[in-house]
Structure 1
Amino acid sequence: MKGMGKVVNNPSKSNIKLVPKNITPSQSNIKATVKREFILEGLGCANCAAKMEHKLSTLERISSASVNFVTKTLTVELDGTNKTDGLVDTITEVVQSIEGHVKVIEKQSNKVLKKEIKLQGLCCGNCAAKIERESNNIKGVKSAVVDFVNTKLILEIDNLSKQNVIIEKVKEIVKRIEPDVKVIELENNNRGAKDKTHEHNHDESNKSDMIKFGASALIFVVASVLNLSSYIELTLFLISYILVGGEVVLRAIKNIRRGQVFDENFLMSIATIGAFAIGQYPEGVAVMLFYQLGEMFQGFAVNRSRKSITALMDIRPDFANLKIGDELKKVSPEEVGVGDIIVVKPGEKVPLDGKVIEGNSMVDTSALTGESVPREVGAGDSILGGVINRNGLLTIEVEKEFGDSTIAKILDLVQNASSKKAPTENFITKFARYYTPIVVFSAVALAIIPPLVIDGATFSQWLYRALAFLVVSCPCALVVSIPLGFFGGIGGASRNGILIKGGNYLEALNNVEIIVFDKTGTLTKGVFKVTEVKAQNNFTSDELINYAAYAESYSNHPIATSILKAYGTEIAKDSIENYEEISGYGVKAMVSGREVLAGNFKLMNNEKIIYQQIETIGTVVHVAVDKRYAGYIVISDEIKEDSAKAIKDLKAIGVKKTVMLTGDNKIVGNKVAKQLGLDKVYAELLPDQKVEKVELLDKEKSPKGKLIFVGDGINDAPVLARADIGIAMGGVGSDAAIEAADVVIMTDEPSKITAAIKIAKKTRRIVMQNIIFALGIKIILLVLVAMGLGTMWEAVFGDVGVTLLAVLNSMRAMKVEKM
């Protein structure tokens, strides 16, 4: 309960259920959505990814679909009433109608533990089926599959705490059905193994492509240099072309059968086959060679970019040292339950959130906060997964399962950030859908019309120009590089302790005009301390603090906590009856048979109690017992060290207005505002009045301008939801803040808001550079080619060369200077 918090300092702090932006509370309960995630294995065409996203979004059962080309992840949202039966088949059908070789694999939830058990000596298929069937019936097993070829049982366990019991039951089943089979529990490194296999397959594929490319290039050189007969020369050029371009042509034919005509495979196939048709054999092969070389370099650049972005958030711990008796067992973090004891050695990552019960050490929190200064922890301190233990040995009691930990939420937040696309990304996706067909039809017109209307113009001459025109038209440079730019910006921000929940919020940060701050916990430390206790009307100071502490004993607000700390004695809660919270005023409770009121001056006025008016920069809590004024308690807060600098920096980068909203009294509000250089302050506000003030301020901004509200988490949910961008001073480990806001500042430093805006501006500059560069080069080349001043060589540069340069430029977005 948050009695005093609502009354004396911040009336916006209330236990209000968070409702997403633009959804009223009544609407929010109408429909629930189900989110499912899939890996699109083998996806290599950004333009195709955009087509998949568009086509899936039009399906009736899917309310929204988002393809993240960077991570090859498809996220779909379904209305909660929709059945999910056959969803994978439906998605696979759509995906493979566009890219036939792409595999659709559903992502598993973090809370599902995948366990592999080796069934050594298993040679009976019927017995394997029995083991699988009976294992599926074990309580807590989501699924059990026997891989008979590799003699493995693969379990998915949704009750992590019972995994040891489940494995023992599996051993019993195996022993009963196949007594000679040996059961060996494998280390849970499934994710790593999968990644290694995936990388290995990638390497094999790359080697095969490079061998083909090398052979094709060699044959091309032989055919070009040696003086051979026309028949042998054509044969060698055809062999060279088939080696380097056969797969491209085959893919184009398959796509045409599925109705997917306008893609890069089609464009390159038509252009190069057309070159052969008009007798330009060397150029047809050379263009395909150049195209494939560019594609290889582009693939390397994109993969390097992916790895670099992944490395930015390389905070996931690989293992945990679980203490069982006097022994340590190395296990996956997902296998550790709440209450388990883990040991973290020097140099290791802390795998899960918990409390230090033994040991002292310095920990490096830079992966979570971007701060390089190490922090000291000791017995009794809370510690988060993802931080690195520098020097001491720490024994930790786990307080959260891995799926619920701060590190898991941060990873999920960053990995899924690009599902919320920026307007620029949406525009480019839509632009590409119309741009390519228009250019193709323009190329057809270029091939047919001039020979008919221009004297002396030959069909082969204009067909060549049209073919080169087609090569230039591919929009991959835009479709690939722009999502990479936004994802890189989000990844770079996360390393600086700023979590941005989507490209849409990153782009919106460019247009901030008004920033509205909460006071307590945002501009001030939120660390309250009782600085004065003034008793009156024959009450003693001890009695006054006693009654106030009992009245506030159910609250966890910082003000209530400070009163309880000042009281310093255990509360006998059985002496408290009829507790009532009066929103915006204070609390009322019966304490040992006496009615106690504790709150602000409004509560005293409301209850018609004569009280002493006092002017101070602290927060004043008035107390009355049986309608008689007992006195007041003054509680003081402290301004954060970098708050004044934050306001100054925000104005320096172009923010037009800074405002503070507080439930505190006007004296405190004006004092803080003057110290910090704020433009405006509104004090003594109730929760609904804060929302009203934000709505009035929202009318002052320009049509494209954005309003930010900065608060300290879910307590400011109504205002965070109303603002264009909600920023939470989350602090490391604040689950509420991570859930509530669009942007989370993990270090509680207001100055990081300036850093977030600078990162957004840098990302937009890079994205705009790519758009202008890619479109500019393409338009110039289209004109040159149409006029006969450009060849297919320039055209291929306009496709793969521009894409490669744009991707390399996008990688700069993740390089963020420490702010």
Structure 2
Amino acid sequence: MKKRLWRILFGAVLFIAAAVMNPSDQWFKIALYGLSYIVVGLDVVIKACKNIIKGRAFDENFLMTVATIGAMLIAEYPEGVAVMLFYQVGELFQSYAVDKSRKSIASLMDIRPDYANVKRGEELVKVDPDEVQTDDIIVIKAGEKVPLDGIVLKGKSMIDTSALTGESVPREVEVGSDILSGCINLNGVITAKVTKEYEESTVSKILDLVENASNKKSHSEQFITKFARYYTPIVVIIAVFLAIIPPLVLEGATFGDWIYRALSFLVVSCPCALVLSIPLSFFGGIGGASRKGVLVKGSNYLEALAETEIIVFDKTGTLTKGVFLVQEIHAEGVSQEELLEFTAYAESYSNHPISNSIKQAYAKEIDSGRIANVEEISGHGVIATIDGKKVLVGNSKLMKKMNMPYYEGELIGTVVHVAIDHIYAGYIVIADEVKADSAQAIKELKHANIKKTVMLTGDTQAVAAKVAKELGIDKVYSELLPGDKVEKVEELLLQKSEKGKLAFVGDGINDAPVLARADIGIAMGGLGSDAAIEAADLVIMTDEPSKIATAIRISKKTLGIARQNIVIAIGIKVGILVLSALGITTLWAAIFADVGVTIIAVLNSFRALNVKKL
């Protein structure tokens, strides 16, 4: 860029010197124009010649070369040099624009770790993250990037996840916490066990997604590519006819006048404003989305998102946290504290999620000396002796098996019944907790003109109906197997319009087939399974459903900018093409129609990067 800038400045000085010279020094004046042209335009002429040899004749280099050399041949030296000079200014501006966009995204994606501190015996060895194996022990010091995904074995710290999720608030990690590569350790020293090799780590997958996103072009980009392929040869043929036919058939028409018009026509016809600005718009949109913690795997998915009519959600882990918590304790004949204590002791040897939620609610140390004769009955529950009392903890099947009367009313959630010494002592209701922003997410989607929201879940009808009502979801299907979910999505695909799209949002391994079947698959990337992230077209790194509405707003804004650029570029060009053919405009207007329109379109494309208020 610096070399091009100096060439432009030197060429401009020679051009100005030639322009202000005394007309009597005609040959010296022409020589200065020629030298100015060589300084600013030689590389364009060389590129045009190389492309002709390779069979790619009709590009902007060819158009500029023919137009400018043609202008010089008909003695329009100032305009011939000016066209090339301003074309190079436009190219410089374009290079700056693309470079700025790339740097903007690169800064967001500056998460590739340089090294990992691997513990070898009592020593720490700095190695390339690629060389670290699963189960190796790594140490992350304050200020360092987390090099690989792992689980904390020792230490406590705050980590900055903003590069991955877009969230500015640091997250606390301690022993047992999962840590993701690409995060930054802010204060403490953490010792962790590696759970994934670098190629499978979060940071590697994110970088791969961003680097490959540009390979999947949107319909708008495909249209422009095809348009330029046919458009350029057509305008060259028209320009040739414009230069030759009128002087032969029109009385008083001169070749010099019509060649000048043809050259203006060629300059205007250059499609670089479209070819550059449309991909740049989508590139900016993808970068803006990544700032918000939404990874888009291609421009085509970003464009499709703007046309979404139906959004289908999985429940557990998508709209809910996927973490079971004690929601209600109903005690009979004992206090709630005693009921919870007996239940926690009976479940102390189990690692089942339900057992873990009860122990978490109890939150006290378990004295194993108080427990005896623990018997786990698969699919039913646990029988244990605690403080000499026989305690039954389990579902309704266990109560029936032991001929124990129990509460049979309808309860929403997983119900754990408890009996102490053959007397029913009450029940504990455990349920998944709805994510804090799920209701807001559904509300925002409806404001974004989403016609229908649907929830698919394998959970019971009662639980599903409660969650759907709480969130304001239009339709719910419950007690589904993974295969049933695909069938329901197939049915819903028939309900959308021809151009409309259906998006499915999920996080589990069993959601992968549905994510692949939907028009747009959206995965929860923070806690979601690798299979779901792999099958999805968009990944929400924060696990927040509300980011879906944000992604839709970004897609609509990006698509709007791309369409504006198409209208601006084609509209102005067609207008000046007609005026050039009629001889009303000069090469200076042609320069504006090419370089000026390109700069306007590029500046407009920059708006796609601005997503702060979305």
Report Cα offsets for 1:201-237 as digits up to 9, x if no partner.
xx6xx42x44443433333223222224333332332
Report Cα offsets for 1:327-360 as digits up to 9, x if no partner.
5444433343333333333222222222223322
**Shift of residue 471 of structure 1?**
1.0
**1:770-809 mapped onto 2 (5 Å cutoff):** 770-809=565-604
**1:658-673 mapped onto 2 (5 Å cutoff):** 658-673=453-468
Count the aligned residue pairs.
Answer: 572
Distance 2:500 2:355 in 1: 39
Matched, 1:723 2:518: yes
Matched, 1:250 2:46: yes
The one-letter code sitting in structure 1 at the alignment partner of 2:248 is L
2:180 to 370, 384, 392: 384
**1:574-613 mapped onto 2 (5 Å cutoff):** none
**1:682-701 mapped onto 2 (5 Å cutoff):** 682-701=477-496
2:19 to 224, 227, 235: 224
Matched, 1:432 2:213: no
Does the Cα contact within 8 Å between 1:619 and 1:665 map onto a contact in 2? no
The one-letter code sitting in structure 1 at the alignment partner of 2:270 is C
The one-letter code sitting in structure 1 at the alignment partner of 2:559 is R
The one-letter code sitting in structure 1 at the alignment partner of 2:473 is L
2:201 to 384, 405, 408: 405
2:498 to 703, 709, 714: 703
Distance 1:439 1:620 in 2: 75
SS where residue 515 of structure 1 aligns?
strand
Distance 1:689 1:588 in 2: 27
**Shift of residue 317 of structure 1?**
2.2
Does the Cα contact within 8 Å between 2:509 and 2:532 map onto a contact in 1? yes
Does the Cα contact within 8 Å between 2:508 and 2:528 map onto a contact in 1? no
Distance 1:684 1:327 in 2: 53
**Shift of residue 618 of structure 1?**
1.0
Q: 1:678 to 1:495 in 2, by over 3 A?
A: same
Q: Name 2:560's counterpart in structure 1.
A: 765
Distance 2:191 2:564 in 1: 51
Q: 1:316 to 1:637 in 2, by over 3 A?
A: same
SS where residue 672 of structure 1 aligns?
helix
Does the Cα contact within 8 Å between 1:532 and 1:635 map onto a contact in 2? no
Q: Name 1:654's counterpart in structure 2.
A: 449
**Shift of residue 760 of structure 1?**
0.8
Q: Name 2:163's counterpart in structure 1.
A: 367
Q: Name 1:746's counterpart in structure 2.
A: 541
Does the Cα contact within 8 Å between 1:212 and 1:244 map onto a contact in 2? yes
**Shift of residue 613 of structure 1?**
6.3
2:250 to 429, 436, 454: 454
**Shift of residue 445 of structure 1?**
2.0
Distance 2:143 2:594 in 1: 47
The one-letter code sitting in structure 2 at the alignment partner of 1:791 is T
Report Cα offsets for 1:456-484 as digits up to 9, x if no partner.
22111111011111111121111212122
Distance 2:246 2:416 in 1: 87
**Shift of residue 655 of structure 1?**
0.9
Q: 1:319 to 1:216 in 2, by over 3 A?
A: same
Q: 1:355 to 1:687 in 2, by over 3 A?
A: closer
Report Cα offsets for 1:384-421 as digits up to 9, x if no partner.
12112222222333332222211111111111112111
Q: 1:600 to 1:520 in 2, by over 3 A?
A: farther
**Shift of residue 543 of structure 1?**
13
Distance 2:143 2:346 in 1: 50
TM score, norm. by length of structure 2 = 0.84
Q: 1:544 to 1:642 in 2, by over 3 A?
A: closer
Distance 2:357 2:236 in 1: 71
Q: 1:224 to 1:566 in 2, by over 3 A?
A: closer
**Shift of residue 733 of structure 1?**
6.9
**1:415-426 mapped onto 2 (5 Å cutoff):** 415-426=211-222
Q: 1:674 to 1:215 in 2, by over 3 A?
A: closer
**Shift of residue 488 of structure 1?**
1.7
1:233 to 17, 26, 29: 29
Q: Name 1:394's counterpart in structure 2.
A: 190
Report Cα offsets for 1:290-332 as digits up to 9, x if no partner.
2122222222222122212211212222333344455544443
**Shift of residue 600 of structure 1?**
11
Q: 1:690 to 1:330 in 2, by over 3 A?
A: closer
Identity of paired residues, percent?
Answer: 64
Deviates more, 1:724-733 or 1:650-659: 724-733
**Shift of residue 643 of structure 1?**
1.3
The one-letter code sitting in structure 2 at the alignment partner of 1:298 is Q
| Root mean square deviation, CA, Å | 3.6
1:259 to 45, 49, 55: 55
Distance 1:344 1:548 in 2: 36
Distance 1:301 1:247 in 2: 21
Q: 1:704 to 1:798 in 2, by over 3 A?
A: same
Matched, 1:815 2:600: no
Distance 2:212 2:44 in 1: 32
Report Cα offsets for 1:508-556 as digits up to 9, x if no partner.
111111111122222222212466799xxxxxx9999999999x98xx8
Q: 1:633 to 1:695 in 2, by over 3 A?
A: farther
**1:81-92 mapped onto 2 (5 Å cutoff):** none
Q: 1:715 to 1:542 in 2, by over 3 A?
A: farther
Q: 1:542 to 1:323 in 2, by over 3 A?
A: closer
SS where residue 412 of structure 1 aligns?
helix
Does the Cα contact within 8 Å between 2:104 and 2:287 map onto a contact in 1? no
Distance 2:192 2:613 in 1: 31
The one-letter code sitting in structure 1 at the alignment partner of 2:271 is P
Q: 1:806 to 1:645 in 2, by over 3 A?
A: same
SS where residue 63 of structure 2 aligns?
helix
Does the Cα contact within 8 Å between 1:313 and 1:495 map onto a contact in 2? no
Does the Cα contact within 8 Å between 1:320 and 1:351 map onto a contact in 2? yes
Distance 1:617 1:818 in 2: 39
Does the Cα contact within 8 Å between 1:313 and 1:491 map onto a contact in 2? no
Does the Cα contact within 8 Å between 1:312 and 1:492 map onto a contact in 2? no
1:284 to 68, 80, 96: 80
Distance 1:687 1:338 in 2: 31
Distance 2:275 2:396 in 1: 57
The one-letter code sitting in structure 1 at the alignment partner of 2:193 is E
Does the Cα contact within 8 Å between 1:711 and 1:720 map onto a contact in 2? yes
The one-letter code sitting in structure 1 at the alignment partner of 2:570 is L
Distance 2:508 2:489 in 1: 17
Distance 2:60 2:442 in 1: 50
Distance 2:135 2:481 in 1: 40
The one-letter code sitting in structure 2 at the alignment partner of 1:706 is K
Does the Cα contact within 8 Å between 2:289 and 2:295 map onto a contact in 1? yes
Report Cα offsets for 1:122-162 as digits up to 9, x if no partner.
xxxxxxxxxxxxxxxxxxxxxxxxxxxxxxxxxxxxxxxxx
Does the Cα contact within 8 Å between 1:365 and 1:388 map onto a contact in 2? yes
The one-letter code sitting in structure 1 at the alignment partner of 2:511 is D
The one-letter code sitting in structure 2 at the alignment partner of 1:665 is T
2:67 to 271, 275, 280: 271
Q: Name 2:114's counterpart in structure 1.
A: 318
**Shift of residue 559 of structure 1?**
5.8
**Shift of residue 791 of structure 1?**
1.5
Matched, 1:351 2:147: yes
Distance 1:485 1:549 in 2: 57
**Shift of residue 490 of structure 1?**
1.4
**Shift of residue 778 of structure 1?**
1.1
Matched, 1:299 2:74: no
SS where residue 158 of structure 2 aligns?
strand
Deviates more, 1:314-323 or 1:512-521: 314-323
Deviates more, 1:504-513 or 1:798-807: 798-807
**Shift of residue 560 of structure 1?**
8.4
Q: 1:619 to 1:380 in 2, by over 3 A?
A: closer
